[in-house]
């Protein structure tokens, strides 16, 4: 996680990069992964993971606040841009180049003359862009050799990036303007991009750490000067795990139950399955789903009172 934030921060510090996608990916990916890590911590600690630190300390054990960590990290998936909204925002940024060159072609409100002009413009763009999707350095065995044992992973990132771009191009052709409603597809697309970005960040950081040039090292390569070669081992393991996730996500782009799920969700909202709820006890305190809000000087105090 730190490697992803580190790379995004370095790109921002350069002050010549548009890092909207990288910054958003760092927020989304870290929020999701941190929750998984905290959940694993609770599980690994078993009953002690579920107990509060105070309860553990009262029993004379070390007060590890695992359950509090899980609760506190959980909010990152909701505030400062919920994960669902981050997926939509990043997907929009990712397909923005296509919408700006080809958006008029698929917009039903655009006139025929404007559509023709847009088609000519898009033709020029895609004549240059499409050949870049076919092959690149990821196909050449010696590419990224300066990264040593991690070079294979960077070649994979390069190949997978082009495969992702081809998938987006195919999806845009298949669904045209309806692509923006395919949240399942867009979500997987963003998750693939997030994994590839994380792999790149981890390789860059491990390479710097292994050569004594990491952000926390003085470069002497002496004892205590950072993680050294073990950083390469960790990065290699991370990338191998990440590749498995990427392959599953690619598979899910075209093999999923999204369309059925949408139909099912509509049926749920239409009340087709209320019989399933029969006999289930509702633990909530009665009240409206959303309270009427009254803006005023005291409303912020109310919010703070409710969430503390």
Identity of the residue, 68 or 230, whose beta carbon is nearer to ligand FAD in the bound complex:
68
Identity of the residue, 9 or 88, whose beta carbon is nearer to ligand FAD in the bound complex:
88
- Least CB distance to ligand FAD at residue 77 (A): 8
Place of tokens 């993971």: 49
Measured from the Cβ of residue 78, the count of other Cβ atoms closer than 10 Å reads: 12
Q: Say which of 80, 84, 146, 247 is annotated catalytic.
A: 80
Segment near ligand FAD (CB under 6 A), from 63-71, 76-84, 135-143, 219-227?
76-84
In degrees rounded to 5, what are phi and psi of residue 141? -55, -35
| DSSP code for 139 | G
- Least CB distance to ligand FAD at residue 81 (A): 7
Segment near ligand FAD (CB under 6 A), from 18-26, 58-66, 71-79, 161-169?
71-79
Does 75 engage in binding with ligand FAD (CB under 6 A)? yes
Q: Is residue 110 packed enough to be buried (19+ CB in 10 Å), middle (13-18) or exposed (0-12)?
A: middle
Does 261 engage in binding with ligand FAD (CB under 6 A)? no
Cβ pair 184, 258 in contact under 8 A: yes
Does 78 engage in binding with ligand FAD (CB under 6 A)? yes
Segment near ligand FAD (CB under 6 A), from 77-85, 114-122, 123-131, 251-259?
77-85
Does 79 engage in binding with ligand FAD (CB under 6 A)? yes
Whether residue 32 lies in the annotated active site: no
HSE, side-chain direction, 13 A CA sphere, residue 48: 12
**Residue window 129-168: x/- pattern of binding to ligand FAD, with contact defined by CB under 6 A:** ----------------------------------------
| Token duo for residue 184 | 């399942």
Place of tokens 């296509």: 98
Identity of the residue, 176 or 183, whose beta carbon is nearer to ligand FAD in the bound complex:
183
In order, the DSSP letters of 194-255 are: HHHHHHHHHHHHHHHHHTT-STT--S---TTSS-TTHHHHHHHHHHHHHHHHHHHHHHHHHS
Cα(230)–Cα(206) distance, integer angstroms? 9
Measuring CA to CA, which residue among 240, 231, 233, 238 is closest to residue 211?
A: 231
Place of tokens 């609760």: 71
Cα(77)–Cα(80) distance, integer angstroms? 8
Identity of the residue, 93 or 236, whose beta carbon is nearer to ligand FAD in the bound complex:
93
Does 269 engage in binding with ligand FAD (CB under 6 A)? no
Residues between 80 and 119 that touch ligand FAD (CB under 6 A): 82, 84-85
Segment near ligand FAD (CB under 6 A), from 42-50, 79-87, 97-105, 243-251?
79-87
- The three-class DSSP label of residue 103 is helix
Q: Which residues bind ligand FAD (CB under 6 A)?
A: 75, 78-79, 82, 84-85, 307
Give me the active site residues, please.
80
């Amino acid at each position: 996680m730190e490697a992803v934030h580190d790379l995004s921060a370095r790109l921002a510090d350069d002050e010549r990069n548009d890092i909207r996608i990288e910054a958003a990916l760092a927020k989304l990916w870290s929020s999701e992964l941190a929750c998984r890590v905290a959940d694993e911590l609770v599980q690994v600690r078993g009953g002690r993971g579920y107990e509060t630190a105070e309860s553990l300390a009262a029993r004379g054990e070390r007060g590890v606040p695992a359950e509090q960590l899980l609760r506190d990290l959980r909010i990152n998936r909701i505030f400062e841009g919920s994960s669902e909204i981050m997926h939509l925002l990043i997907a929009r940024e990712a397909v923005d180049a296509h919408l700006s060159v080809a958006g008029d072609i698929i917009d039903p409100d655009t006139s025929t003359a404007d559509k023709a002009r847009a088609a000519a413009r898009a033709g020029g763009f895609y004549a240059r862009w499409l050949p870049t999707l076919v092959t690149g350095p990821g196909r050449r065995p010696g590419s990224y050799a300066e990264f040593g044992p991690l070079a294979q992973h960077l070649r994979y990132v390069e190949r997978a990036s082009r495969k992702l771009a081809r998938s987006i191009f195919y999806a845009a052709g298949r669904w045209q303007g309806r692509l923006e409603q395919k949240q399942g597809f867009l979500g997987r697309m963003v998750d693939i991009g997030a994994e590839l970005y994380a792999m790149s960040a981890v390789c860059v950081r491990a390479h710097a750490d292994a050569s004594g040039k990491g952000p926390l090292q003085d470069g002497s390569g002496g004892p205590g000067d950072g993680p050294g070669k073990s950083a390469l081992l960790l990065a290699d393991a991370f990338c191998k795990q990440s590749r498995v996730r990427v392959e599953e996500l690619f598979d899910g782009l075209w093999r999923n139950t999204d369309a059925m799920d949408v139909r099912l969700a509509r049926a749920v909202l239409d009340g087709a399955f209320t019989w399933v709820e029969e006999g289930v006890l509702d633990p909530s305190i009665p009240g409206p789903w959303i309270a009427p809000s009254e803006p005023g000087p005291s409303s912020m105090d109310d919010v703070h009172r409710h969430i503390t």
